Amino acid sequence: MISGAPASGKGTQCELITDKYGLVHIAAGDLLRAEVAAGTENGIKAQEYMNKGQLVPNEIVVSMVKRRLEEQDAQEKGWLLDGYPRSVSQADALEALNIRPHVFILLQVPEDILVERVVGRRLDPVTGKIYHLTYAPPETPEIEARLTQRSDDTEERVKLRLKTHRQNVEDVLSIYSDVIVPVSFGSITSSLFAEKSRFV
């Protein structure tokens, strides 16, 4: 499992970890965005909460994540669960199925840096690669032209998401205290990964 505040680097570290270990990346936020894009009933409900940076109700998220964890690829290759659980009740739902992580990676980044990261974050819809207009600019003008920005990646909304994260992270950490590996800001992405990848 990997946990961290918005723009703490979950997505970027997940890409490095899943490439190296052949794990299946399961991100609750991505699953929800797929429901929103598909216009499903759950997606329409979830959108209201996501626009406010609030947690989407468990009756939508828990079954969605459980189903994805139980799919054959995750069972065979192993999974890296990103952005779930975000509450004790969500963690309890996995405990009830005897689903526990071998490692719980906790990314820790100062909040002022997070806001700057979010506002400049962009996504390439063709490759799925994450860029930052200042710190990790796109390689070509063609890529730059097609980059998209998440609707909740505004300064106003990221502050709501940070508040939600602070409210929930402490509850969850107590459940995984035996497998937590804290990873603090200060290393660039690749050296951070290299330095800490011994634990995975």
Ligand X SMILES: Nc1ncnc2c1ncn2[C@@H]1O[C@H](COP(=O)(O)OP(=O)(O)O)[C@@H](O)[C@H]1O
Residues forming the site for ligand X (CB under 6 A): 6, 10, 28-29, 32, 49-50, 53-56, 61, 83-84, 86, 90, 152, 161
Helix, strand and coil content of the chain, in percent to the nearest 5, comes to: 55, 15, 30
Cβ distance to ligand X smaller for residue 50 or 183: 50
CA angle 76, 40, 92 (to 5 degrees): 50
Pair 154, 52: CB distance under 8 Å: no
45 noted as active-site residue: no
Q: Which is nearer to ligand X, 23 or 29 (CB)?
A: 29
Cβ pair 120, 133 in contact under 8 A: yes
CA gap 190, 87 in Å, rounded: 30
Q: What is the 3-state secondary structure (H, E, C) of 101-153?
A: CCCEEEEECCHHHHHHHHHHEEECCCCCCEEECCCECCCCHHHHHHCECCCCC
Which H helix or E strand runs over 65?
A: helix 58-69
Active-site residue, 117 included: no
Q: Which single residue brings its beta carbon nearest to ligand X? A: 29
We find the least distance from the C-beta atom of residue 145 to ligand X, in angstroms, to be 24
At closest approach, how far in Å is the CB of 16 from ligand X? 17
CB of 143 to ligand X, least distance (A): 21
Please confirm, yes or no, whether 86 is among the known catalytic residues. Answer: yes
Nearer to ligand X, 95 or 139 (CB): 95
Catalytic residue among 33, 68, 86, 157: 86
- Which of the following is catalytic: 117, 157, 161, 196? 161
Work out how close the CB of 141 gets to ligand X at its nearest, in angstroms, rounded to a whole number. Answer: 27
Query: Is residue 79 helix, strand or coil?
Result: strand
From 33, 68, 117, 121, the catalytic residue:
121
Please list the active-site residues.
Answer: 10, 86, 121, 150, 161
